[in-house]
Structures are given as C-alpha cells and as structure tokens.
Amino acid sequence: MKSFCALFLILSLGVWGIAHGQTDVLTQVSTIDALMTGVYDGEKTLGWLREKGDFGHGTFNTLDGEMVVLDGQVYRVTAAGTVERPPMETKTPFASVTFFEPDRNLPLEPGIDFQRFVQKVGSLLPSPNIFYAMKITGTFRTVKARSVPAQKKPYRPLSEVVKTQPVFELKNVQGTIVGFWCPPYVKGINVPGYHLHFLTADRKAGGHVLDFNVEKATLEIDDTRELSLVLPSDSAFDQADLTVDREKELKAVEK
C-alpha cells in the first residue's frame, strides 16, 4: 500500500486552470479538521511539497512551528519566535502550496489592518467560489503573530494547544504575508476565508498572522481554480472523528 492516497478534486469552473497546467493548482496535504483533532504526524516531506509549489504555508510533524513557503524556500517559525530552514526530509501533517503567479495587484493604504483588509479585498474578488493565493509585501507598523511548540503524544486538540500559544508583537518591520482565501464550501477541508502567515524580510521572525497594520504594502492575488487534496493513509487519520462540526473551534484557533 502506498504511504499516501491522493484524492484529486478538480474544480471544473472553466478551462482557464487547465490551460495553465499545474501552476494554478492548490496542493494540500491532509485536512484542517484532521489537524484540529490532533493528527500531527504526516508522511509527505518538504522536498515533495516544494515540487508542488513555491508559495504557501502549513506546519510540521508534531506541530513543531509555523511553516512559510516563499520564493521556493521553506521556513519554520519556532515557538521561540526564531526562523530556521528545516531539512527537506522534514515531514508535514498539513500544508497548502501553489506556484504563485499573480493575476492582479493593488497598493494597500497606510493604516489598513486585518479587519479593514477583509472588507476591502472581499469586494474585489471576482468570485466567492474559487481559491486565491495572496501575497502582501511591504512595511508594516505592526504584525501580531503566533507559533506553536512541538507536541508530545497523546496529542491534544489544536484548540487546546493554542490556549498557551506564544504570541509575537512585531513593530515597524518589512516582510511578506503569505496566505490563501478559500471558499466557504471547503469547511472542514481547509480554512474558509483568510489564512495568513508572515515572514520578515530578514528571515528572522514571523508566524501565523493574528492581526497586522500596514505602513506601505502591495497586495498580489493569484486566482486558483484547481485543488489537489492528498489524504494520509495512516491509522491516526483513518480513525479520526471528522464528523464533528469544528467551525467554532477553528475560529478560536485562527484568532
């Protein structure tokens, strides 16, 4: 039996995605609900992941930090707030990547925070039914970010882990926000709405974005019409209870 079984969900919303080959595919390892329940050990390596995209985010086995994939390089933001380059043999239990090729861009005015960003960008997206990769590059007055420490078995649910998460208040930093907007119908599979991670320009800090305030930045958006979902074939995933509605838990985890 193969170590993973691949389930390809081809969202047939037109021939545009097909014409662009594999560059406009969002490749995802496992599901957000599996991660929420405590499925923290995956089998896909970072080397494999990097073949599927040069842009994205996720986490690492045992939930050991926040992942940022930018310009083809994979970074780990540790629970101590430092950034390192993990070996390509490192494995991930949950990640989303694509090859970033922006379809549009726009400047973000000074003072825009996460809440205003959601309001502004939501009205600009051409459809609420497809995926979008988003990159915000520039200078930020503040970025509030978090990471998570490596866990030990028996694993606690993610909603319990984040109750003691380390939070970093970064001020007057240059860097890049990396993330995705996913449509509401993928609830349980990925994070509906915005899911953003941050990495400073000097590659010394970052994490899962809780809030931010822009000084001067540019938003780039890459429309993505295909989803390739790769599901684990191990017993932890097979036996996980994925029938529970975890919407409230997810909102707490994301904030």
Maximum Cα–Cα distance for the chain, whole Å? 53
Predicted local distance difference test score (pLDDT) of residue 16 = 37
Q: Where are the domains of the chain?
A: 4-254
Task: Specify whether the backbone of 110 is left (phi greater than 0), alpha (psi in -120 to 50) or beta.
Answer: beta
Predicted local distance difference test score (pLDDT) of residue 151 = 98
pLDDT tens, position by position, 36-94: 999 999 999 999 999 999 999 999 999 999 999 999 999 999 999 999 999 999 999 99
In CATH, 4-254 is 2.60.40.10: no
**Burial (0-12, 13-18, 19+ Cβ within 10 Å), 13:** middle
Amino acid identity of 66? E
Q: What is the pTM of this model?
A: 0.91
Joined together, the tokens standing for residue 202 give 């000097």
| Segments in the chain below pLDDT 70 | 1-22
Predicted local distance difference test score (pLDDT) of residue 20 = 43
